[in-house]
Amino acid sequence: MKPNNNNGENQAFISVSTASNRPSNRLDFKGAVMAEDGADKQYKGDDSIPFQGIPPNSAAGAAPDKKRRLTRAQLEKLEKRLSARDLSVLQALRKYRFLTSDQVGRLYFTNCSTKTSRTRNQNLLLKRLSDHGLIRPLARRIGGYQGGSSVQIWYLTEAGFRLLTLNTPGEHKRKRFSEPSPMFLEHTLSIAECVVQLTLICRNSHDLSLDAVDTEPSCWRKYKSDGRVCYLKPDVFVVTSYEKYEDSWFIEIDLSTESSSQIIEKCNAYLEYFYTGIEQKETGVFPIVTWVVKDSTRKEKIKQCIRESIKGQPKMFLVITPDELEKMIRQYIDSGEIC
């Protein structure tokens, strides 16, 4: 939907499609001040990776000595033996930092007839990449995550990172790996889980598609406020399509650890970025800002907090639970839910 240029107060609103009478999440932009020509543009990532159509063939070969640093020649030789699925798993670990074995299986083993078959195949792939020294599991597992079971969590090694950047001159070296804190790890896995759920929803539907996924820091937006360089830092930015409409979303993953004042501070940052006009100038629309929370109690608390603290401002904030993700991208959520 194109931006509405009618005269009127500066505001964003939920518009309705005349063709289907379906509310669109696109926030039309009405006359807000645009960024000056030459202003810094936000950083936008272009490293979204595909999740479908990956051939099932697997790589073969003996595992290298894990204690010895692989040379470039060895990495180039190994790269030729890896399958498209192997490389996609490595890229996913680079993108999301950490993935559980189950998340890898749900993303990349779509043709298995049973969960047991999927688990067996995902574990074989992960073991093979681990034997090559390209990935490793964290030393500890997380109990209570995903139904209370203890899960194995994987990350990309220095060799895996070097393999993915063999043909990328000037690529920054990866920082030395350090064991993440439990809170950081839970948040990172929750971001990945949100993307996994969106991927599966769209994959299993004939009328939905997940067109782009950018995680931090590639989804961060750079802008200026009062002469200061600022960064808007959503957890993830996604673009979805439904019934020929393309919708965009800034997503914040909430683990019930942030106070009301921290939530409002984030809301004000989004409003500040909205009024720069940068996003609207780039795309014609401003994404809905969506908090994905653990349960309905937390949902109502955040909604009330936003409505009481953000008054007289454009309505651009949505609070949902994970089971409402499909309703969100299908626009089945009542427009009155927007704060």
From 150, 179, 208, the end of a domain falls on 179
The domain of 101 spans 72-179
**Residue 107 · residue 132 · CB < 8 Å:** no
**Mean pLDDT across the stretch 271-277?**
96
Domain membership of residue 321 (yes or no) is: yes
Q: Whole-angstrom Cα distance, residue 13 to residue 15? A: 6
Long-range Cβ contacts of 296-302 (<8 Å, 24+ apart): 296/321, 298/254, 298/256, 301/260, 302/254, 302/263
52 domain residue, yes or no: no
User: Do the domain assignments include residue 8?
Assistant: no
pLDDT at residue 216 is higher than 70:
yes
Give residue 225's pLDDT: 87
The total domain count for the chain is 2
pLDDT band for 311, please (50, 70, 90 cuts).
Answer: confident
Question: Which pLDDT score, from 0 to 100, does residue 299 have?
Answer: 96
Question: Considering the domain boundaries, does residue 85 fall inside one?
Answer: yes
In 3D, which of 193, 8, 196, 166 has the Cα closest to residue 75? 166
Residue 36 has pLDDT above 70, yes or no: no
Note whether 230 and 300 are same-domain residues: yes
Q: Which of 132, 156, 179 is the last residue of a domain?
A: 179
Two structure tokens written together for 46: 């272009």
- CA-based end-to-end distance of the chain: 21
Asked whether 105 and 196 are in contact (CB, 8 A), the reply is: no
261 and 168 housed in the same domain:
no
Ordered alpha helix ranges (H), 15-100: 72-81, 84-96
On whether both 331 and 194 belong to a single domain, the answer is yes
- Ranking 11-15, 87-91, 236-240 by mean pLDDT, the lowest is 11-15
**pLDDT value of position 69:** 85
61 occurs within a structural domain: no
Tokens of 229: 């360089």
The model's pLDDT over 240-257, given as tens digits with 9 standing for 90+, comes to 999 888 999 999 999 999
Q: What is the pLDDT of residue 333?
A: 85
Q: Which two tokens stand for residue 52?
A: 């479908």
Same domain? For 29 and 98 the reply is no
Query: Looking at the structure, do residues 99 and 226 belong to the same domain, yes or no?
Result: no
Q: How far is CA 189 from CA 95, 100, 142, 154, in A?
A: 12, 8, 11, 11
pLDDT of residue 94: 95
Q: Is residue 141 part of a domain?
A: yes
Burial grade of 94 (CB within 10 A; 0-12, 13-18, 19 or more):
middle
Q: 209 and 277 share a domain?
A: yes
pLDDT of 95-110, one tens digit each?
999 999 999 999 999 9
Q: Quick check: is 5 in a domain?
A: no
In a domain, 65, yes or no: no
In a shared domain, residues 170 and 208: no
Query: Which H helix or E strand runs over 293?
Result: none
Q: What are phi and psi of 213, to 5 degrees?
A: -135, 125
Looking at the fold, whether 211 and 296 belong to one and the same domain comes out as: yes
Which region, left, alpha or beta, applies to residue 215 given φ > 0 means left and ψ of -120 to 50 means alpha?
Answer: beta
Beta-bridge mates of residue 178:
none
Residues 201 and 320 in one domain: yes
pTM for this prediction: 0.78
Both 316 and 241 in one domain: the answer is yes
Taking only the tens place, the pLDDT of each residue in 149-208 is 568 999 999 999 999 999 886 666 666 777 889 999 999 999 999 999 999 999 999 999
Among the candidates 179, 209, 243, a domain finishes at: 179
Confidence category of residue 141, pLDDT binned at 50, 70, 90: low
207 plus 329 within the same structural domain:
yes
Please check whether residues 148 and 266 belong to one and the same domain. Answer: no
Strands of the sheet with 288-292, listed across from one edge: 208-215, 236-242, 245-253, 288-292, 317-320
Average pLDDT, the chain: 81
**CATH assignment at residue 76:** 1.10.10.10
